[in-house]
Structure 1
Amino acid sequence: MRIEHIAIWVTDLEAMRAFYETYFNAVVVGEKYHNATKKFTSYFLSFTDGARLELMHKPSITATTDNEVNTGFIHFAMSVGTKEQVDFLTEKLRFDGFKITGEPRTTGDGYYESVILDPEGNQIEITI
């Protein structure tokens, strides 16, 4: 078995699509989906290893405003292949104004990673 895809609600569908295309080489799979009745739009993004991310937007779904940690989904990790790529992408994102919440380091469980926030505050680990 494998995870088929992960989906996240977003406020700005086009900006989030552009972010994942620009920094993580995502490719849009098919056309933007739009259900006028439900006021729902989405994109499926695909990555080179076959993993997929669904970005979904519906005007009635609004962003959370607190920073309290709750149970449930907290982050996903993107593998970029090497320590050098982790460092490079982290610095590129920093230069482009994105928030780095965890500097590149080797964690206690042996991962080399940094942690960033995407444009809407979703936490992404960038790892080997």
Structure 2
Amino acid sequence: MLIVSPILEELFFRKFLLSKLLNKHNISISVLISSLCFSIIHIETPYNLIPSLIFGILSSMIFVRTGKIIYSIVFHALRNSIYFVILFNAEIYDSWIYGLNFNFVYWSLVLIGLVLVFVGMKKITSANIG
């Protein structure tokens, strides 16, 4: 879950599928199709569909912007590591997250996460250019 899945999934969904789609379609369509495919294989519950889709889009954008699959693999491994830690505290996490009821705190955490990902992507892509 922490090593094999990120490597195999990123190699397939980003390196292979996304690259092939980019040969025939524009970036937006290619990212969306590969991310939808990624989210469908992770649809353990309907609640997992949107987060998996967002993760797929972010991972695809990292790959497209850097051209290096290793960044997507590391991003995926970090995400799986966080999920693994949460599994050990599942009851505490579930009561906490469901207690938020998609309120201000929930959306603030989502926004902070998106900002951190955006800043990280900017740093990664600027480091590769220079």
Question: TM-score scaled by structure 2?
Answer: 0.24
Greater strand proportion: 1
Question: TM-score scaled by structure 1?
Answer: 0.25
